[in-house]
């Protein structure tokens, strides 16, 4: 079984591309990259076609993650047909996903941080209006959640 994982935030230039890049790296290390479609999108098209925020790119690069090939795009209704696992970075974007979700969507739709309750947060903080420490916090949380997602996805793909 192949699978698709989509990470969603508001503009697709900070949180969701970081989650995409970190998860893509983990999937590659696990030998799953050929079997998993990994992408990110924004609920709004403010930055469509743009690369991730330079602060996100730099923070990720400093930890060994490459975000260079990622370009912002707006979430499409068709994404529900393409992705089995869709993760919102916060409640506001989750509400948008719930409103857009087709009635027949049988995949998983949820908050990304709910995969790792031990992190003590349900919403990924938006680093856009802050300094570099906000991007480091997003990376810290993402690195803690990624193994849980990888394990869950690996189990599901064995079925």
Per-residue pLDDT of the chain (159 residues; tens, 9 = 90+): 589 999 999 999 999 999 999 999 999 999 999 999 999 999 999 999 999 999 999 999 999 999 999 999 999 999 999 999 999 999 999 999 999 999 999 999 999 999 999 999 999 999 999 999 999 999 999 999 999 999 999 998 887
Q: Which domain holds residue 137?
A: 3-158
Q: How many domains does the chain have?
A: 1
Three-class SS state of 108 = strand
Report which DSSP code applies to 119: G
Distances (CA, A) of 98 to 3, 120, 126, 134: 20, 23, 20, 27
Long-range contacts of 130-133 (CB under 8 A, 24+ apart): 132/55, 132/58, 132/59
Calpha distance 17→1 (Å, rounded): 25
Three-class SS state of 61 = helix
Geometric angle at alpha carbon 47, from 83 and 142, rounded to 5°: 55
CATH of the domain at 132: 3.40.50.2300
pLDDT at 19: 98
What residues act catalytically? 9, 15, 126
> For the whole model, what pTM was predicted?
0.97
On whether the CB atoms of residues 149 and 115 are closer than 8 A, the answer is yes
Calpha distance 91→43 (Å, rounded): 12
pLDDT at 158: 83
Nearest to 157 by CA among 32, 6, 13: 32
């Amino acid at each position: 079984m192949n699978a698709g994982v989509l990470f969603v935030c508001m503009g697709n230039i900070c949180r969701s591309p970081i989650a995409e890049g970190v998860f893509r790296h983990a999937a590659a290390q696990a030998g799953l990259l050929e079997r998993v479609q990994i992408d990110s999108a924004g609920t709004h098209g403010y930055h469509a076609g743009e690369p991730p925020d330079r602060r996100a790119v730099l923070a990720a690069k400093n930890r060994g993650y490459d975000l260079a090939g990622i370009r912002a795009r707006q979430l499409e209704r068709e994404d529900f047909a393409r992705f089995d696992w869709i993760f919102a970075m916060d409640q506001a974007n989750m509400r948008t996903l719930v409103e857009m979700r087709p009635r027949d969507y049988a995949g998983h739709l949820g908050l990304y941080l709910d995969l790792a309750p031990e992190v003590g947060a349900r919403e990924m903080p938006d680093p856009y209006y802050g300094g570099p420490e906000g991007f480091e916090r997003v990376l810290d949380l993402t690195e803690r959640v990624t193994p849980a997602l990888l394990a869950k996805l690996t189990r599901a793909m064995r079925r």
